[in-house]
Amino acid sequence: MPRFLLVLNMLLAGTLANTATAWEAERSVIHVDVYRKPGRFGGWPANHGIWSWGQEILVGFSAGFHKDLGPEFHNIDRERPEEHLLARSLDGGRTWAIEDPAPQKVLIGTKGMRHGTLPTEHTEPEPVRLSTPINFTHPDFAMTCRMAGIHMGESRFYYSYDRGHTWRGPFQLPLLGQPGIAARTDYIVNSSRDCFLFLTAAKANEREGRPLCIRTTDGGQSWMLASFIGPEPAGYAIMPSTVRVSQTDLVTTIRRMEEGPPRRTFIEAWKSRDDGQSWARLPDPVPDTGEGNPPDLIRLKDGRLCLTYGVRAKPFRMEARISSDSGESWSEPIVLRNDGGGRDIGYPRSVQRPDGHIVTIYYFWDLKTGPERYIAATIWDPLSK
């Protein structure tokens, strides 16, 4: 039915309030602004993490100030503050509220876990060793992992028992004999005290990077190296995104760059059949991502895998692919949108809603609305593709 007739019928029936829902059903893909402000830069949800509890979705991102540095760079002013913010939706991603966790009451990672209120000019304390075990299976649990600055070095983690309203941390992540660790949020909970983290280690030459799997069995008080994911590359292999597909099998996707000539950027996949102790290469899900972009991998309720990513090549776009055989093969790309204004896009994180729709969140900019990078969400139905 044409949209104007659909809306007219709703008006006649007195149901105009439901127009957005019906329009979503008709289109099957909608785009929503999560964070967009004149003069500001919103970026990199993949560096922070996403969590969901039914219709409630929480995602982290960076918020800085826009500065025109040309088409080859992130247009963020590095001489002005960069905030780490949260966006929360209570209606499955249709509307969003922005939260700043820094000024809120938090639990600082010191002995006795003292309470404190952080001022807006807060300088983050140095991470400490966790002394109280985490309950990873708490129903309102969330964890985020961060690297210190933008370079390989020490990393830290935080956790929450109230859906991200307050956080405990920062806590130390060990180097485990590596030159440096760059942590982003990618974890799998195995039991109340058992959890995998998937991180990127510096290579022997201290450049990025090589992915690895680490594990705790005592609630995060200590961590052990479970395995490296693949050999040390000549280029880089960074930013894993991982799911469990069976009691013993894991699949991870990784942002890759191969040194040239020709230089190649793509997404590769690996599978473990022994619960993270060793890994075997799968076919590459995405052979070309332009200038490179990290993957986001989730397992759908029907068992299929869904991979979302940005493409930093014309037309600048967000795409997805589906696997029905645990990563052994992948669908052709599903274009979620192709109206990007340039290379400075992507870094997605996705969740599946109870109704089966996927909410994919990423940073973006387009020529129609201006140069500022913003955080967007695309809500789409994998069954309709």
What is the SS3 string spanning 193-233?
CCEEEEEEEECCCCCEEEEEEEEECCCCCCCEEEEECCCCC
pLDDT at 139 over 60: yes
Amino acid, res. 275: D
> CB count, 10 Å around CB of 258?
15
Q: What does CATH list as the number for 31-384?
A: 2.120.10.10
**DSSP helix, strand, coil percent of the chain (3-state; round to 5):** 10, 45, 45
47 secondary structure, DSSP code: G
Q: The pTM is what? A: 0.88
Tens of pLDDT, residues 326-376: 999 999 999 999 999 999 999 999 999 999 999 999 999 999 999 999 999
pLDDT at 269 over 90: yes
Provide, rounded to the nearest whole percent, the portion of the chain with pLDDT above 70. Answer: 86
> CB count, 10 Å around CB of 248?
12
**Which tokens go with 229?**
């994911």
Q: How confident is the model at residue 385 (pLDDT cuts 50, 70, 90)?
A: low
Q: How confident is the model at residue 151 (pLDDT cuts 50, 70, 90)?
A: low
Tens of pLDDT, residues 42-51: 999 999 999 9
Judged by DSSP in three states, 24 sits in helix
> CB count, 10 Å around CB of 116?
12
Q: Where are the domains of the chain?
A: 31-384
- What would the mean pLDDT of 151-174 be, rounded to a whole number? 92
